[in-house]
């Protein structure tokens, strides 16, 4: 199964859909937790699902907009999908939003993608760009006292409101570190965590060294990821 080619095809699909997504950008409803979901989120997840199901027969899709709590994740092939991460940014007219897809086979990582379509940025398994050095620390927008404390200790702290943006930038080294002490779900994190592990970053999940394991969808995970500049030139 050529997962790399499937992910590249998927990225082209998302870019091609941008005019349609923009037309639905401000068609907003509200989830029980008070967060927004747009018609673009729903459309894009359906398109991603259709492509993956067509390419990998029998695959189970764990998508942010369609996953039902308590559903068993038990098929050979599984894809974890966040169609629009940073929906608050997206429906506010900002470009800092992203798409996250992570594909697994029998519990083993086969490939992931982080895509920021309006910024023209893409990262895939086996194709990770690098930046020589940064002092910037990115923080989750799920604010709590610990984030406030650490922002006070880091003069170059940033809150961008998009996990894909934060993960993308710590993996390539544009951020030296990304911290989410409050926790986020698998669809927010798994693709980026898997790519950070591949890139040789120091990846801490729930206070423990990450070792390439699948993150289950029915819980939140706290993460702390540090870029390892000694792993590449510059």
Average pLDDT, the chain: 94
Encoded tokens for 97: 């939003």
Is 42 within a domain? yes
What average pLDDT does range 110-124 have in this prediction? 98
Please indicate, yes or no, whether residues 64 and 96 belong to a single structural domain of this protein.
Answer: yes
Last residue within a domain, chosen from 76, 100, 124: 124
Reply yes or no on whether the pLDDT at 234 is more than 70. no
Please indicate, yes or no, whether residues 16 and 120 belong to a single structural domain of this protein.
Answer: yes
Please indicate, yes or no, whether residues 11 and 102 belong to a single structural domain of this protein.
Answer: yes
Is 102 within a domain? yes
Please indicate, yes or no, whether residues 120 and 141 belong to a single structural domain of this protein.
Answer: no
Nearest partner of 86 among 159, 150, 10, judged by Cα:
159
* Single pTM value for the model: 0.93
Encoded tokens for 226: 């540090």
Please indicate, yes or no, whether residues 150 and 118 belong to a single structural domain of this protein.
Answer: no
Half-sphere exposure (Cβ direction) of 71: Cα atoms closer than 13 Å: 13
Taking CB atoms within 8 Å and a gap of at least 24, the contacts of 157-161 are: 160/86, 160/89, 160/96, 161/86, 161/88, 161/89, 161/94, 161/96
Last residue within a domain, chosen from 74, 98, 124: 124
Total domains in the chain come to 2
Please indicate, yes or no, whether residues 8 and 120 belong to a single structural domain of this protein.
Answer: yes
Can you tell me which residue has the tokens 């695959």?
59
Is 129 within a domain? no
Please indicate, yes or no, whether residues 167 and 116 belong to a single structural domain of this protein.
Answer: no
CA distance linking residue 150 with residue 168, whole number of Å:
21
pLDDT reported for residue 213: 97
Indicate which CATH number applies to the domain containing 89. 3.30.540.10
Beta-ladder partners of 127: 124
Chain-centroid distance of CA 119 in Å reads: 15
Over the Cα atoms of the chain, what is R_g?
Answer: 17
Please indicate, yes or no, whether residues 141 and 181 belong to a single structural domain of this protein.
Answer: yes
Please indicate, yes or no, whether residues 113 and 167 belong to a single structural domain of this protein.
Answer: no
Is 130 within a domain? no
Overall size of the chain counted in residues: 234
Please indicate, yes or no, whether residues 31 and 104 belong to a single structural domain of this protein.
Answer: yes
Out of 93-102, 149-158, 182-191, 204-213, least confident range: 149-158
Domain span at residue 64?
Answer: 3-124
Is 132 within a domain? no
CA distance linking residue 31 with residue 46, whole number of Å:
18
Is 180 within a domain? yes
Q: What is the pLDDT of residues 18-70, one digit of tens each?
A: 999 999 999 999 989 888 999 999 999 999 999 999 999 999 999 999 999 99
Encoded tokens for 11: 């990225």
Q: What is the pLDDT of residues 125-146, one digit of tens each?
A: 999 999 999 999 988 887 778 8
CA distance linking residue 69 with residue 57, whole number of Å:
23
Please indicate, yes or no, whether residues 81 and 160 belong to a single structural domain of this protein.
Answer: no
CA distance linking residue 19 with residue 214, whole number of Å:
34
pLDDT reported for residue 144: 75
Is 131 within a domain? no
Indicate which CATH number applies to the domain containing 150. 3.40.190.80
Pairing of strands 137-139, 177-184: parallel
Contact 213, 174 (CB under 8 A): no
Please indicate, yes or no, whether residues 38 and 146 belong to a single structural domain of this protein.
Answer: no
Nearest partner of 229 among 202, 189, 198, judged by Cα:
202
pLDDT band at 232 (very low <50, low <70, confident <90, very high): low
What average pLDDT does range 200-210 have in this prediction? 97
Reply yes or no on whether the pLDDT at 105 is more than 80. yes
């Amino acid at each position: 199964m050529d997962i790399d080619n499937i992910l590249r095809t998927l990225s082209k699909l998302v870019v091609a859909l941008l005019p349609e997504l923009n037309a639905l950008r401000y068609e907003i409803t509200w989830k029980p937790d008070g967060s927004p979901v747009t018609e673009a989120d729903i459309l894009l997840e359906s398109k991603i699902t259709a492509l993956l199901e067509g390419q990998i027969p029998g695959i189970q899709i764990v998508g942010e907009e369609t996953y039902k709590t308590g559903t068993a994740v038990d098929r050979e092939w599984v894809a974890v999908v966040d169609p629009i991460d940073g929906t608050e940014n997206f429906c506010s007219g900002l470009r800092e939003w992203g798409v996250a897809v992570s594909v697994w086979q029998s519990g083993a990582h086969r490939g992931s993608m982080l895509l920021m379509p309006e910024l023209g940025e893409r990262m895939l398994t086996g194709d990770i760009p690098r930046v020589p050095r940064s002092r910037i620390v990115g923080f989750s927008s799920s604010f709590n006292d610990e984030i406030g404390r650490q922002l006070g200790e880091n003069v170059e702290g940033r809150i961008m409101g998009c996990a894909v943006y934060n993960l993308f930038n710590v993996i390539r080294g544009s951020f030296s570190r990304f911290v989410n002490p409050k926790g986020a779900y698998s669809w927010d994190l798994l693709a980026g965590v898997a790519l950070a592990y591949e890139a040789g970053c120091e990846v801490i999940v729930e206070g423990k060294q990450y070792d390439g394991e699948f993150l289950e969808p029915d819980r939140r995970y706290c993460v702390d990821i540090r870029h390892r500049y000694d792993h590449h030139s510059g």
